Amino acid sequence: MQFGRYVLLMQRVFAVPQRWSMFFKQVVQEIYKLGVDSVGIVIFISVFIGAVITMQVSLNINSPLIPSFTVGFITREVILLEFSSSIMCLILAGKVGSNIASELGTMRVTEQIDALEIMGVNSANYLILPKIVAFVLFVPVLVFFSMFFGILGGYFIGWFTSIISAETYEYGLQYWFSAKYIGYSILKSMVFAYIITSIASFFGYNVRGGALQVGKASTKSVVNSSVLILAADVLITLLLV
């Protein structure tokens, strides 16, 4: 039943904007609000996780049979294939998803959405489409930042500790590298970005009641989009690898 209503909402969302100039202005605003505003947390988390993965891997494969550059290789694989797309998007589902759900939910309970409708504005299209377009377009930038700073986090371990040398780490990073992985990760993240924005919009837009319900919608959107991201992750991996 929820799914049917989701499809109906998306049918209203994916319509031609009534005013293109307004639409582009909104997309730019949303890129700032949802995307640029998330750069800081993405960098912060990526550096730390990159560093920790490098440490964990090198401490755990301390075997004479495995060459030590494997550490850089594994760190790269984990960050490029899973962390910077899937895990990053799970984190963003919390930040971006709750932001969208509470904004739309508040607009619903304060009748701002009704005000749009009574003017003859397709409120779903006007409010939701710019968010989806903005985040799907900007998420590759976030993924790119995450990859760069995740790898950099590993370097820090090489530079500042004796767990692994920076040269060995770097050799591992370049070992059997294929740029295809980056494209694959970016593609995945765009699917996840669509999931995050559309699910959060669905729960926010359909709030009924007051501030309490807005909070609940925000929680629901985070939980549901996280589950869907994980399911989509498995599906995409099965299909593309």
Q: How far is the CB of 20 from another protein (least distance, A)?
A: 12
18 binds another protein (CB under 8 A): yes
Residue 111, SS3 per DSSP: coil
Residue 236, SS3 per DSSP: helix
77 binds another protein (CB under 8 A): no
Residue 208 phi/psi, 5° resolution?
A: -130, 130
Q: How far is the CB of 204 from another protein (least distance, A)?
A: 15
227 binds another protein (CB under 8 A): no
Closest to another protein by CB, 107 vs 164, is 107
Classify residue 17 by its DSSP letter: -
11 binds another protein (CB under 8 A): no
4 binds another protein (CB under 8 A): no
> Rounded distance, CA 150 to CA 82, Å?
12
Site for another protein in 111-130 (CB under 8 A): 111-112, 114-115, 117-121
Environment class of 132 (CB within 10 Å of its CB; exposed 0-12, middle 13-18, buried 19+): buried
> Rounded distance, CA 15 to CA 9, Å?
11
36 binds another protein (CB under 8 A): no
- Positions touching another protein (CB under 8 A) are 18-19, 22, 110-112, 114-115, 117-121
